[in-house]
Amino acid sequence: MAFSDGEKLIIAMMADLHRHLGVEDSVELDFVQKAISYGDTWALKSKYPGIFSDTKERNPADVQFVHDALTMWSILERSYEELSDEDKEKVRNAPGSHGHAPRFEGFDGHSDLVSIARTMIEDLEYYEEFEGRALDAHMPINEVHERLVAAFKPLREQLHFGLLSADAIISVIDNRIHPENRA
């Protein structure tokens, strides 16, 4: 869904008018203004599906990718926390872990993915476990997330109680290393 500049101005003026008059409504004015300002109009359909008549429209590919990546990181982090100390060490010693526990590091701030993630986490209250984290990795990392998500998707269907084993975590995390640099 795209708004023209004129429509954006009208929405901003209506929001200001509602705020000035103290109109209380079921629509969160700050959220609507923020979604329009940052180009996250997809979030309006997600938060207010009853307002928009075209409910069959799919989310943009970037929105789906952020959803997939955040779901993956949520499961990776939660799975790691449930491992035994021995298995945690095994994961940390895997080449793709670089000696650390798996942790979502954000997206490349030069892409729209940071804004999409922020809207999902802060405004739509999805993935609350990432609330308060820096979402801008300050480095080109989106290609890494693409490799990780591709490795994770087949495993997702094999989840046992929503958790991955140490070996499954390693099979995903090792994709942080570019294929040309793997031994």
157-173, pLDDT tens digit by residue?
A: 877 678 999 999 999 99
Question: In which band, very low, low, confident or very high, does the pLDDT at 55 lie, cut at 50, 70 and 90?
Answer: very low
Per-residue DSSP letter, 157 = T
3-state SS, residue 75: helix
Of residues 66 and 110, the one with the higher pLDDT is 66
Q: What is the pTM of this model?
A: 0.76
Q: Tell me the range of 30-39, 47-56, 79-88, 110-119 where mean pLDDT is highest.
A: 79-88
Q: Are residues 31 and 78 in the same domain?
A: no
Would the pLDDT of 148 be above 90?
Answer: yes
Q: How many residues does the chain have?
A: 183
Q: Which residues have CB under 8 Å from 80's CB, separation 6+?
A: 88, 91, 101, 102, 169
3-state SS, residue 160: strand
Would the pLDDT of 57 be above 70?
Answer: no
5-16, pLDDT tens digit by residue?
A: 888 888 888 888
Q: Are residues 11 and 73 in the same domain?
A: no
Q: Count how many Cα atoms sit within 13 Å of the Cα of residue 168 in the half-sphere of its side chain.
A: 21
Residue 134 amino acid letter: A
Q: Are residues 90 and 148 in the same domain?
A: yes
Q: Are residues 18 and 85 in the same domain?
A: no
**Domain limits for position 119:** 61-181
Q: What is the reported pLDDT for 66?
A: 96
Question: In which band, very low, low, confident or very high, does the pLDDT at 75 lie, cut at 50, 70 and 90?
Answer: very high
Q: What is the reported pLDDT for 19?
A: 83
Q: Are residues 87 and 28 in the same domain?
A: no
